[in-house]
Structure 1
């Protein structure tokens, strides 16, 4: 058995150590901010690499969309694609001729509201994904991830409007030849499973380091610095857009207050349901926010890919755990994540993410009637002349300092372990 040091990995680890030392003040380095213009309408390739055009939304606002990049290390050459030589008309014809057997990603047990409209554009290594809403946040986020991380993400080749419906768009992307993790997980050895979850942890840590277009606007983003409505997880249709982090926190507190008033009215004014305020101590970071096993692909070369970035946005780190927690606790066992995967969720996301889910979000989401009761009088307690001390939140939903410290050291240990193990490969 020969242990070979990977030079490329040494460079990555060295760069990361340099970054940490700079952040800690051990070194001083004023790195220039780099930007790349994002692909949105048409993605083109030439000898110099990927040329990215402005999106219609950016053009409407009179400026280009820019992607902040943290290091030139991740700037990669994009290989050519059959889509590069096709006109929009040719792509429309391919999409118009797809059949049901060309549809990929179907999982009837999970798709209560219907399967995603994603089709293989045979005979080419391309897929077309229908997006009924604004697609630019997904396109922008995927480009942002590609420019700033080593996370494998499908390359978007073209965004074209849907001619049949008269609304929505088709995202033409590279086809990833592999299987979704949910379908193949039971066939993997324990060693391979460990490799997959280690890769996922590495991806999450990288996403958390991605420079955001705006550090104070939560939710999805498309490079225009305009707040967008939050999607996925525990968010409802009325969630956002939020112009500030504080506004998103206030929305969560408002939903709890609604439920509190609802409970008080139901109990004839004798019960005051207690709740804690939303914790804004963690900074906003990039979250995929839909890390279901169906959105993780293991390709033929054993690389782990992340797909479906429609819900991605700027959130506190522990939001990454939210969809995982919901699926792991699904009432229907057919829809529940495998227990053998769920036990790794803490490791993958890190920090006290599971505490926030179990002690805040899980309780928050179990009260749908409180969220949807739009006729609740927000000044109910004031009009009743009730002492504010009886109904105002008394604390912030935050784990104890001891728990936070333990998880901090666990994260340091896990990251160090992953860093050291990544330096070696068994031949």
Structure 2
């Protein structure tokens, strides 16, 4: 079988699985998730920061990992430091994305309670606490059928994100407020220098990667694969960029919640595929365990973008450069 025939066969398999996922969603729709009431309306910002600093009687699950920037301040609320690179922002991108996803999709996400700033100017988000356990803890206990169900649910989430319409859809990178230009972009695809930009247009994002390719070609350390250009053949879509088992919460209510939208933004669809594969490696580093079943579902969840992943891998040397 030729490479072209193999690629065609894989795309046909993807389209069939996508159709099956759509049918299953229609036949077995999930009920809307319930949200806990806000319990911080009468609590000041200063008191919330004190509870985060000194600790409250409410704790995150003992099984929780990589939650060092999150504090559970009340029964139904957590406080999280925003990760925006703009020091003066009043509207953290993660909060804006959570509100957008809640409005335009059925993906279970925490509700934003309040935006606040610490004395040093660091922005924080007070958001709904989701009772449950991270999928990284639950995944080993699932049967093969249970894992397939999770894969179909994640597939649905990615498809819904790609359908979101917003005025910011034409600007690469994190969400912003109306009239605001591009924001500094966090992405695992940028290599070891995780933050790049800002990019005002899609063509500027394309230009950044193609300029890296050109510099790599000039250095002489290249191969025929490197001569392919950055794939901007599809419109920018909303991507999460950190789909790993730690960021899915198997809720006590039975829903699969998606959290930690700090790196979310508008990028080419294939960014989700490459980012999910790279974050799977990060998950292995954190837990010390390999998860081949998780790796296997990534093409089903995000689509078949191995060629784009190879392209990024081939220009990776150039992404180390300032």
Q: Which TM-score band applies after superposition, normalised by the shorter structure? A: 0.7 to 0.9
- Quick one: distance in 2 between partners of 1:99 and 1:256? 51
Distance 2:57 2:211 in 1: 44
Contact 1:121 1:128 in 2 (8 A): yes
Alignment of 1:142-157 (within 5 A): 142-157=98-113
CA distance in 1, matches of 2:224, 2:301: 37
Matches within 5 A, 1:83-102: 83-98=40-55, 102=59
Name 1:348's counterpart in structure 2: 301
More helix by share: 2
> 1:150-299 counterparts in 2 under 5 A?
150-163=106-119, 166-224=120-178, 225-235=180-190, 236=193, 239-263=196-220, 274-299=226-251
Aligned positions of 1:10-29 closer than 5 A = 13=26
Distance 1:293 1:158 in 2: 27
Distance 1:223 1:176 in 2: 27
Q: How many Å separate the matches in 2 of 1:95 and 1:334?
A: 26
Q: Is the 8 A contact 2:72 2:78 kept in 1?
A: yes
1:133-148 map, 5 Å: 133=84, 134=89, 136-148=92-104
Q: Which residue number corresponds to residue 17 of structure 2?
A: none
Q: 1:241 to 1:185 in 2, by over 3 A?
A: same
Match of 2:4 in 1: none
Rg (Cα) greater in structure: 1
Q: Which runs of 5+ in 1 are unaligned?
A: 1-8, 15-74, 375-427
**Deviations 1:156-197 (CA, angstroms, capped at 9, x unpaired):** 11111123xx13122111111111111210011222211111
The answer on whether the counterparts of 1:260 and 1:273 sit within 8 Å (CA) in structure 2 is no
Matched pairs, number: 287
Q: TM-score, normalised by structure 2?
A: 0.78
- Of structures 1 and 2, the one with the larger relative CO (CA 8 A, separation 6+) is 2
What is residue 5 of structure 2 aligned with on the other side?
none
Give the Cα–Cα distance (whole angstroms) in 2 for the partners of residues 332 and 77 of structure 1.
34
Residues 40-119 of structure 1 mapped to structure 2, 5 A cutoff: 80-98=37-55, 102=59, 107=65, 116-119=68-71
Superposed CA deviations along residues 43-79 of structure 1, whole A, max 9, x for unmatched, are xxxxxxxxxxxxxxxxxxxxxxxxxxxxxxxx99965
TM-score (norm 1): 0.60
RMSD, matched Cα = 3.2
Residues 82, 94 of structure 2: 8 Å contact kept:
no
Q: CA deviation at 1:237?
A: 5.1
Structure 2 gap segments, 5+ residues each: 1-21
Query: What do residues 341-380 of structure 1 show as CA deviations (whole Å, max 9, x unaligned)?
Result: 1111111112x323322x2223233x2xx33444xxxxxx
